[in-house]
Structure 1
Amino acid sequence: MDKSHPKNTPQRQNWRSMLKARPVRNTAATTRENDENQLCVVVKTQKPRYMFPPISWFVPYNPQREVILDGVGKQLWLWCDGQRDVEEIIDLFKDKYQLSFHEAKTGVTDYFKKLVQRGVLAVVMDKD
């Protein structure tokens, strides 16, 4: 019996729960399309606590962040409707771009991670 690949390792369970999570667009974000088939997502930012005079005199503060999504990012954004889970989106991406599941999973999850860090997406995990 090979014990190097047990079926229910914590890492495998984490991937399963991640695949069942639902990416949701930031409801406070606004979007606009440009001429190059790109989508600009505008997210409001909170002013950091350290932004007070004299620091605020020298360090500019922008009350919003713009994230430009190319055609692929735009398609992923549209699929993040709160109804589809990550696995479904990976399957759609895999089929659209003719990739293996693993290739699609790597690309989609990395992209989602960046969008979450930028405040564009949130990931909702089921309680189960």
Structure 2
Amino acid sequence: MAKRKVTAQEPDQSWQKMLLARPVRNAAAKVSACSDGCLRIAIPNLRPWYLFPPISWMVRPAASKSLVLEGLGAEVWDLCDGRRTVEEVTDCFAARHSLSFHESRVSITGYLRLLVQRGALAMVEEA
């Protein structure tokens, strides 16, 4: 099996693409503020393909899943308005918390990846 040769430019290009993407909130998600300053996000679940009658009469899947964002997570959520790029979100976060761009990038990209995996955000790449 032949191994693919990786050039030095490929990782830089993928980072540039990722930094230019815009995090967009899930339009179907319902956001509510908790009394202690955190945000609760309810994301509707799609019905699985295998849940059809009569199975769906016995097994009731949850209508939605919820995420609770506290402190820094709620701040990142507020920065993800669909207009800012990941780079701009990272810059804002770094400025507010006296971090370098690279320190902020590591934490922001990891957190955004988690929100995308859970269905709260989607990433839109510029054409």
Match of residue 4 from structure 2: none
Q: Give the counterpart letter for 1:117 in structure 2.
A: Q
Match of residue 117 from structure 2: 117
Q: Give the counterpart letter for 1:14 in structure 2.
A: S
- Offset, 1:86: 0.2
Q: State the Cα RMSD in Å.
A: 1.6
The alignment status of 1:81 with 2:81, answered yes or no, reads: yes
- Offset, 1:37: 0.7
Q: Give the counterpart letter for 1:82 in structure 2.
A: G
Structure 2 unaligned blocks of 5 or more: 1-6
Q: Give the counterpart letter for 1:20 in structure 2.
A: L
Deviates more, 1:76-85 or 1:43-52: 43-52
Q: Give the counterpart letter for 1:83 in structure 2.
A: R
Match of residue 98 from structure 1: 98
Aligned-partner SS, 1:98 = coil
Count of paired positions? 120
Deviates more, 1:106-115 or 1:48-57: 48-57
TM-score with structure 1 length normalisation?
Answer: 0.87
> After the TM superposition, which parts of structure 1 deviate over 3 Å for at least 4 consecutive aligned residues?
52-56
Aligned-partner SS, 1:32 = strand
Q: Give the counterpart letter for 1:24 in structure 2.
A: V
- Deviation digits for residues 68-96 of structure 1, max 9, x if unmatched? 10111111111111110000000111111
Whole-angstrom distance in 2 between the partners of 1:34 and 1:45:
22
- Deviation digits for residues 29-71 of structure 1, max 9, x if unmatched? 11101111100011111011122444763x5410111111011
TM-score with structure 2 length normalisation?
Answer: 0.87
Distance 1:49 1:56, change over 3 A: farther
Structure 1 unaligned blocks of 5 or more: none
Match of residue 27 from structure 1: 27
